[in-house]
Amino acid sequence: MKTLKIPEATIIRLSVYSRYLTEVDRKGIITISSRDIAEGVGVSPAQVRKDLAYFGEFGTRGVGYNVKDLRQHILRILGLSVDWSVSLVGAGNLGLALSTYKGFRKRGFIITSIFDTDPQKVGTMVGDVEIMPIERLVEVAKQNRTQIGIVAVPASAAQEVVDQLIKADVKAILNFAQVVLNVPPEIELRNVDLVVNLEVLTFNVSAQR
Amino acid sequence: MKTLKIPEATIIRLSVYSRYLTEVDRKGIITISSRDIAEGVGVSPAQVRKDLAYFGEFGTRGVGYNVKDLRQHILRILGLSVDWSVSLVGAGNLGLALSTYKGFRKRGFIITSIFDTDPQKVGTMVGDVEIMPIERLVEVAKQNRTQIGIVAVPASAAQEVVDQLIKADVKAILNFAQVVLNVPPEIELRNVDLVVNLEVLTFNVSAQR
DNA sequence: TAGATTGTTAATCGATTAACAATC
DNA sequence: TAGATTGTTAATCGATTAACAATC
């Protein structure tokens, strides 16, 4: 198989398609066209077909796509046919919000460990997970074969946490701290920047007049 | 002035540049080159100059950019020379995390009102803001001349909340609910999808072998 | 067979990068 | 003047859209 580069925008849309298909499937609909998917998620039908074509031929000409099949295919493409063990670092307000967020578990992301530096917090339970001291991160994350780390600590502590996560053989990191992090190229890193999203909005609102 | 379209990627980078310049300024550095900025934030120098060139000539050939000046220019471009009144809807875990998030206030986003449906929560204080019943949203948000709404409610309630925000003359909405929202074209809408970020990671990790 | 819709190629659009004249 | 670095144009790269042959 030739590995041609897949645009990241395609991956993001695939995630959206699969969620839409979950909805459609729940309504008992068997078959769906690229046009219907496109309408449902707000893109063009050509875009839907192009995105899917990177990975194979999932439809039937003249008919469309089988909803259940396509959904399963996309989940497999995204790596969601298995559960993922996630380690959450930082049990502040944001960390606690993320730890109780239902959306993660629904897609197979299981938070198996939570770490914090605050001795007050260490030992307390969040759902069925006990908050552990950050010193135990490497040991515990390795034990759980954790592949994803979520960084929800202050910017000043983020690089140190990331270094520990890498020592624990984590493969991917989702970072909420507002700081540019250094990771080796084989580690997947994504930054969620809550403030920058607001600033794109203010730019657009300000530019409107 | 000709209004040529500015890539959204440019706006996002401007936000990053301005934060980096804040750091650099704090160190007492007076002048900076596009190469230094580029290194600091991980893009190419040409990219930095191109991004800035959309908005004017801020540098001096042979010298570089004045750090304080450039920072101020970018903040003005982003609409951040004034504070913004923000209304937060949904005081669950995520909402509370956002309401206490320091990063917002630092960039001039002031949460002036918080709404929730839960009678248990209504009346309690978050910092110096009292949680109000969602029925008062339109009235209160109008009174505060709120221009930005943050939606941190369950997906099932999000469209209704958005409709209320629009009635309150909000200009921009940051949505954390996992649902496709309908808004009129003059309303700026951005979606923050926490799960899709994890799924881009799992795709990349899964594709690595 | 006629109608519908996919998968795919070619055309278009947009963003990034490279190169360099302008100029401090 | 020589060296440095901007602002800008042209070249490249990449992603989206349009069009249509293949085919159910």
Question: Confidence band (pLDDT; 50, 70, 90) for B61?
Answer: very high
> Crossing angle for the helix pair B34-41 and B8-26, nearest 10 degrees?
100
Average pLDDT over every residue of B15-39: 97
Average pLDDT over every residue of B105-121: 97
- pLDDT tens digit string along B142-187? 999 999 999 999 999 999 999 999 999 999 999 999 888 999 989 9
Of A84, A148, A200, the CB nearest to B8: A200
Residue B170 near residue B87, CB atoms below 8 Å: yes
Nearest-angstrom CA–CA distance, A71 and A69: 5
Mean pLDDT by 10 residues, chain A (209 residues): 76 97 97 97 96 97 98 97 97 94 94 97 96 98 96 96 98 94 92 95 86
pLDDT of residue B207: 82
Domains (range + CATH), chain A: 8-77 (1.10.10.10), 84-196 (3.40.50.720)
A62 beta carbon < 7 A from strand C?
yes
- pLDDT tens digit string along A92-120? 999 999 999 989 999 999 999 999 999 99
How many angstroms separate the CA of B45 from the C1' of C18?
A: 11
Which candidate, B84, B89, B88, places its Cα nearest to that of B109? B84
What is the percentage of chain B residues whose pLDDT exceeds 70?
Answer: 98
B90 beta carbon < 7 A from strand D?
no
Chain B partners within 8 Å of A84 (Cβ): 198, 202
pLDDT of residue A5: 85
Of A8, A77, A79, the CB nearest to B205: A79
Long-range pairs for B123-132: beta carbons < 8 A, 24 or more residues apart: B126/B91, B126/B96, B126/B99, B126/B100, B127/B99, B127/B100, B129/B99, B131/B91
Q: What is the DSSP-derived secondary structure letter of residue A134? A: G
> How does the average pLDDT of chain B come out, rounded?
95
Tell me phi and psi for residue A179, to 5 degrees: -160, 145
Tell me phi and psi for residue B187, to 5 degrees: -90, 125
pLDDT for B58 beyond 80: yes
Average pLDDT over every residue of B91-112: 94
Long-range pairs for A126-133: beta carbons < 8 A, 24 or more residues apart: A126/A91, A126/A96, A126/A99, A126/A100, A127/A99, A127/A100, A129/A99, A131/A91
